[in-house]
Structure 1
Amino acid sequence: MDVSQRYREAWEGFWSATSDTPGEAIWDAAPSLSAVPHSELFLPYADISLPVADLGCGNGTQTRYLATRFSRAVGVDLSHAAIGHARRADSEGVAEFVQLDLVDADAVRALHERIGDANVYMRAVIHQSDPEARPAVAAAVATLLGKHGRAFVAELTPASKAVLEQAAQGPDGPPEKLRRVFEHGLKPASASEEELPRVLRAAGLTTLDSGDTALPQTEHLPDGTRIDLPARWFVLAAR
């Protein structure tokens, strides 16, 4: 299976049109708002001597932080342009970055063979994947975990869609960073509340812990309020 050409081109187009400036992508929040609090939830379950794979790493902001908490960090993204951003931003070479299609099961298995059982960090990937690709994305998580890895998965809930719709209805239309998401055909928060746990279970993943959260964005409403998107997090192990 391969991701759709439309989906691949949407992400390649987005990252190709994005500069190296931190925070230009709406979801490129500082680690202090993302990977740091997520690690506090995740690390009690994870063996930090194992590598961590940051799936959907984008420009690698969170990957570089995760490299300080785990023995090795590997950022993975579908987009060649995103991986280019990530490598340029990682001037000290603290992480590795790999272009990989998560629904390419052979490529995912090859990565597992290369790095061994790994922990997985995945923030907001399943909800915006094409619906037919979501089971394969969850299966990629299970493959990379093997017997010993643990995963932290945070995904937008449908309530996020209402927040984004409200943000888009400002007097001047969507704020600039949100407008770029729409212009490139990306579809945030398109998974239902029930779908995510079902997809994770079907991939052979067991939930060890979960809870509600919000994913802070780098964009603000006209009144200056930061856009925070309702989300749910899961700590998972492979059955």
Structure 2
Amino acid sequence: MDVSQRYRASWEGYWRETSDAPGEAIWDADPSLCAVPHSELMLPYADATLPVADLGCGNGTQTRYLATRFARAVGVDLSHAAIGHARRADPAGAAEFEQLDLVDGVAVRALRDRLGDTNVYMRAVIHQSEPQDRAAVAEAVATLLGARGRAFVAELTSASKAVLQQAVTGPGGPPEKLRRVFAHGLKPAGATDEEVPELLRAAGLTILASGDTALPQTEHLPDGTRIDLPARWFVLARA
């Protein structure tokens, strides 16, 4: 099974029209706001001598930080254009990057076979996946973990919709970076609050720890307030 052609084209189009400039993508926050605190939540449960796979890595900003905390870091993304951004931003080769459709179970298992038991970092992927693909994304996490890997998953909650609505209805309409997301047919905050933990458990994952957080964006409201989207985080292992 693969993602739909429409969904694939949306992401390719988005990343092709995004420059290499840091923060140009609305979710491309500095690692100090994302991968740094997320690693502190994950590492008490994880074996850092195992690799880490950053699922939905985009331009690789978080992956490059994860490479400083784990023995090996591999960023994967559906979009070939995103992987191009990631490789250009990492000329020293601190991390590895490859195109991967998380819904393609055969490809996910092949990555697992190459890496062995793997830690997983996944930030805001389930919520924007198409409804029919969300279970497969959760199953990809479980496949990669094997017996010893641990996962950190953060997903937007329904409260983020109110924040996005506030941004959209400002005097000038949606901020430019958010407007580009909508222009490509991408739909943030699509999953319900109950759906995410249910999908994770159905994939054979056990929740070791969880909590509330916010995912900082690189865009601001008209009053200058940074857009921080309410989210829930989970540290997971195979059941």
Runs of 4+ aligned residues of structure 1 deviating over 4 Å after TM superposition are: none
| Length-normalised TM-score, structure 1 | 1.00
Aligned match of 1:175: 175
Give the deviation of 1:221 after TM superposition. Answer: 0.5
Aligned match of 2:193: 193
Aligned match of 1:23: 23
User: Aligned AA for 1:228?
Assistant: D
Q: Superposition pairs for residues 88-99 of structure 1, below 5 Å?
A: 88-99=88-99
Give the deviation of 1:15 after TM superposition. Answer: 0.2
Aligned match of 2:54: 54
| Length-normalised TM-score, structure 2 | 1.00
Q: Superposition pairs for residues 106-121 of structure 1, below 5 Å?
A: 106-121=106-121
Give 3-state SS (helix, strand or coil) of 2:58's partner.
coil
Give 3-state SS (helix, strand or coil) of 1:45's partner.
coil
User: Aligned AA for 1:60?
Assistant: G
Deviations 1:156-187, CA, capped at 9 Å, x for gaps: 00111110011010111000000001001000
CA distance in 2, matches of 1:162, 1:10: 24
Give the deviation of 1:209 after TM superposition. Answer: 0.1
Aligned match of 1:230: 230
CA distance in 2, matches of 1:79, 1:2: 13
CA distance in 2, matches of 1:92, 1:161: 38
| Structure 1 unaligned blocks of 5 or more | none
CA distance in 1, matches of 2:200, 2:4: 21
CA distance in 2, matches of 1:34, 1:193: 21
Give the deviation of 1:92 after TM superposition. Answer: 1.0
Give the alignment's Cα RMSD to 1 decimal. Answer: 0.4
CA distance in 2, matches of 1:221, 1:162: 13
Aligned match of 2:165: 165
Paired positions, count: 239
Calculate percent identity across the aligned residue pairs. Answer: 81
